[in-house]
Amino acid sequence: MVAAVAAAAVTTANPLTCSLFPSQGLRGTTSGLQWTKRQCTRKASALTVTAKFELKPPPYPMDALEPHMSKDTFEYHWGKHHRAYVNNLNKQIEGTELDDTLLDDAVLITYNKGDPLPAFNNAAQAWNHEFFWESMKPGGGGKPSGQLLQLIERDFGSF
């Protein structure tokens, strides 16, 4: 999971003007709430709060998936694609309430009940890539067992 990390712990008295979230904010139930696609803004100040999603280091060395994924492919996919989604998400949410949410919450909020907000693609892709790296392991793979194998064989004919 990509964690939201505060880069500065300075707070300001500047109000955040935002129509992205309901008036009661992120607390409580959100099942009946609606968000709009309008941008959130904060008045300029010398003091700001900045929290960012971080690109976690890969959970294993970049050559650990060879021969299935080359080190060059891994470096490119993690260092270019995944990094771009995280960086672009940070740019899109800077100064908004999303700035201090967890990535899982950012994905759910920006999905906006099927009417995605502008940051949804980057939030979802950052999450997808994090899941992708965590789902693989060196020496992993092979045929599943138990109920998973039975369902695959039932639905697809064979593994």
pLDDT score, position 20: 43
* pLDDT reported for residue 99: 86
Which pair of tokens denotes residue 17? 């003007």
CA distance 59 to 46: 38
Report domain extents, the chain: 4-156
| Tokens coding 70 | 């080359």
CA-closest candidate to residue 40, choices 26, 55, 54, 30: 26
Question: Residue-wise pLDDT tens for the chain (159 aa)?
Answer: 333 333 333 333 333 333 344 333 443 333 333 333 333 444 444 444 444 899 999 999 999 999 999 999 999 999 999 999 999 999 999 989 898 899 999 999 999 999 999 999 999 999 999 999 999 999 988 889 999 999 999 999 999
HSE of 58 in the Cβ direction (CA atoms, 13 Å)? 19
Q: What is the pLDDT of residue 11?
A: 33
CATH number of 4-156: 1.10.287.990
